[in-house]
Chains A and B, each alone.
Chain A
Amino acid sequence: MTMIARLRQRLFATPIDAAITLVCLYILWRISVPLVHWLLLDATWHGTSRDDCKGSGACWVFVRVRFSQFMYGQYPVSERWRVDIVGALWVLVTAALSWRGLPHRRLATLAAVVVLPIVGIVLLHGGWGTGLSLVETREWGGLMLTLFLTIYAGLIAIPLGILLALGRRSRLPLVRFASMVFIEFWRGVPIITVIFLASLLLPLIMPTGFDLDRLARAVIGLAFVIAAYMAEAVRGGLQAVPDGQTEAAQALGLGYWRIQRMIVLPQALRIALPAMTNEVISLFKSTTLVLIVSIFDLLGIAQAALADPAWVGMNMEAYVFAGAIYWFACFALSQWSRRRERRLLIAHGR
């Protein structure tokens, strides 16, 4: 009974409300029925080639056949276990670090953040006297590359952003000015132009003979832009920490860096976490732009797959698959940040 009453109140409160509900239901029906048919009911799931797709629905055979390419790009098949190991390492370490009972958690996090990226690059790239065969970054691609770009650019952008945010509030005018110029410059230009800039100008301003990998250029370009946005997110957190905290620490005789590290940043970063997560999400979405300089991340691989003459007309399938991965990843991240935010509010008794 209460169920029906609630339904009435929320959907059929007034005649106009009822009409709106009915119109919405009708539109929903008209959209979802063909969609479900195309996505699931009429779709072809099994087979090996385009000829197996006879139904009027989606041809998921295409995604099945191409799945490993969507994940690894052109990474040599015999070496893909290296990618799997790196992925497993990240997952395991992240899981271990998020366990609250871990001894020396702070130290372990710091060590992981320094060691894991190096191990990752060595394993993925090979060569350099490791005995692993060399896989050039040209061959990297797909979801693996998307995650690579996000993690490495993020690992540069977060500390750099924190430093810039501190710099913007520094008592030294030169530091303040330099930080402000850096932040405003990178925030003022489109990311596409930055990726162009990084891939064209970085080789030009380096000494002759010093060849910076084009993937590294893309990472640096992305990292600078996201660092500028990250700095603004952190600044919001810094502003929320009362001045009394710094003053009390100064009265205790702590120096600048100790105050920031022990008093201000732990509070500021906790407040800034939702905004910082938003920047990570936006970084994850921005990695798609490396397509412009012919680096094939997940979306780039999907786009490139459309040119395959054996699979003409698979545009929708490729986009739906790639789009779904992006959506789930971003949605999960934003939900995680929202949950943390709520827990924080409860912890502060607000």
Chain B
Amino acid sequence: MMTFLRDRKVRDILWQAAGAVVLVALVWFFVRNASENMVKAGIASGFQFLWRDSGIEVPFNLTGYRPSDTVLALLWTGIVNTLLVSAVSIVVATAIGFAVGLLRLSSNWLLSTLAGVYVEFVRNIPLLFFVLFWYFGVLAALPTPRESLSFLGVTFLNRRGLSIPTPNDLTGLRLSLLAIVVLVAAQWGLARWARARQARTGRDFPTWAVGFVTCGALPIVALVLGGAATSWDVPTLRGFNYRGGFVLVPEFVALFAALSTYTAGFIAEAVRGGILSVRQGQIDAARALGLTPGRIVRLVVIPLAMPVIIPPLTSQYLNLIKNSSFGAAIAYPEIVAVFMGSALVSTGQSIEIIAITLAIYLTLSLAVSLFMNWYDARHRMVTR
């Protein structure tokens, strides 16, 4: 009778069935406890609370949110703030990270050592330390508004935050943005044409030199022209503080500074690893073909290094987005602070709020990893 238990397939099914039963029982046990405890505490479950007035003040928001708006609007404000600080930090972290990663490979010993010291310094200290350090250590030591640090007389940094000018109307800037889009599209078309011509006739075209003009210099000119044509609301000192313009609160500045410098250390390592993964033989072969050093970097090193750099880079971006939740420690109004913090305290709907928050982060993570898989599949090196 017991012989059928010796069959591996039967045993597999039995084991899994037992596991499933234990899992279901456990979940049932937790859910029952939770519903009992909630009845006792007098908490009603459900998502109706999202449409109630929140009554929570958010000092820094881009959505025009007011305390009389719904909890859903509050959540949206939190999401926008998370995305804002993440986007700005990702750009700056990437720039610093690539710079430091390349400097670490410099032939100048002092330069590469300094870059190495930066990476080792940043990677071995908790991010929360940096967030608190910038907020309570650096920004709290900044001067009062009256003695603000001034940048070109239009942007001011003091302990109340960073006051930046804002455009009064967007027509000029929209036009320059349009010009930039046209320039980039033109460059893309030009590059395609140049490549096709080179494949056909072997004649070379200075695509990159032109690219620096169309995608680098001309956009700056366009922005300056567009900016000059726009009237700006420049912050000015009135009484004890700056009025006008837009104030980036100290919480934003501290979180941004911490996130970008911290993540840059990890990005630098990814960049260095990617470039080191390019075999010396590839570079020697390119040199033997007579390519110039600039072309070796462009046509051999970068195409071979990028597929190695992109996956860790994406996961660093994802980490940065998740780490923007550290803003909760200094009350920067991002998702965790306004929703899991303030809204949870005022409504008491802990299960629903936690579920929504986790769902948002999981969606973000899933989106990024889907992109990563897609990129990986597209750019995977075909070997052998």
Interface residues of A (CB under 8 A from B): 10-11, 13, 17, 20-21, 24-25, 28, 171-175, 178, 184-185, 187-193, 196-197, 200-201, 203-208, 281, 285-286, 288-289, 291-292, 299, 303, 306, 315-316, 319, 322-323, 326-327, 330-331, 334
Contacts and interface: CB of A to CB of B under 8 A. Distances in A.
Contacts of A315: 136-137, 140-141
18 contacts: A10-B107, A24-B110, A175-B16, A193-B358, A197-B358, A200-B354, A204-B351, A205-B34, A205-B37, A285-B125, A288-B129, A299-B126, A299-B129, A303-B132, A319-B132, A319-B137, A327-B124, A331-B124
B124 A206 contact: no
A316 B114 CA distance: 23
Interface stretch (B209-217, B252-260, B323-331, B371-379): B323-331
Contact of A285 (B127, B141, B350, B365): B127
Given A189-B322, A196-B354, A315-B136, 17 more contacts: A10-B107, A25-B110, A184-B365, A185-B362, A188-B361, A192-B328, A192-B336, A204-B33, A204-B350, A204-B351, A208-B33, A286-B126, A288-B128, A303-B132, A303-B136, A306-B136, A327-B125
B85 to A, nearest CB: 13
Contacts of A172: 12, 15-16
Interface string B307-328: 0000000000000001101101
Contact of A190 (B129, B133, B325, B344): B325
Do most interface residues of chain A lie in helix, strand or loop, or is the interface mixed? helix
Given A172-B12, A193-B354, A322 B129 contact: yes
Contact of B30 (A187, A205, A289): A205
Contact of A11 (B15, B110, B322, B351): B110
B37 A204 contact: yes
A13 B107 CA distance: 9
B120 interface: yes
A225 B230 CA distance: 50
A292 B36 contact: no
A158 B227 CA distance: 56
Contacts of A207: 33
Contacts of A327: 121, 124-125
Interface residues on B, range: 35 or more
A223 B365 CA distance: 20
Given A189-B362, A285-B126, A178 B108 contact: no
B357 interface: yes
Interface in B83-117: 107-111, 114
A24 B114 contact: yes
Contacts of A178: 19, 23
Contacts of B132: 299, 303, 319
A147 to B, nearest CB: 14
The listed residue with most A CB atoms (<10 A of its CB), out of B36, B128, B358, B366, is: B128
Nearest to B357: A193
Nearest to A6: B109
Given A172-B12, A190-B336, A11 B33 contact: no
A347 B323 CA distance: 39
Contact of B19 (A174, A201, A281): A174
Contacts of B136: 303, 306, 315, 319
Nearest to A187: B365
A193 B321 CA distance: 13
Contacts of A322: 129
Contacts of A330: 123-125
A148 B73 CA distance: 41
Contacts of B124: 281, 326-327, 330-331, 334
Contacts of A200: 344, 350, 354
Contacts of A331: 120, 124
B157 interface: no
Given A10-B109, A11-B109, A174 B16 contact: yes
A193 B336 CA distance: 7
Nearest to B359: A189
Contact of A288 (B126, B137, B362): B126
A187 B124 CA distance: 21
A24 B115 CA distance: 11
B196 interface: no
Contacts of A203: 37
B44 interface: no
Interface in B255-302: none
Interface string B27-64: 00011011011101000000000000000000000000
A188 B20 contact: no
A28 B140 CA distance: 25
A145 to B, nearest CB: 14
A189 B120 CA distance: 26
Given A10-B109, A201-B354, A208-B33, A193 B129 contact: no
B247 interface: no
Given A175-B19, A205-B33, A190 B361 contact: yes
Nearest to A196: B340
Given A299-B132, A316-B137, A326-B124, A292 B329 contact: yes
A172 B136 CA distance: 52
Nearest to B368: A188
A201 B114 contact: no
Contacts of B326: 192, 289
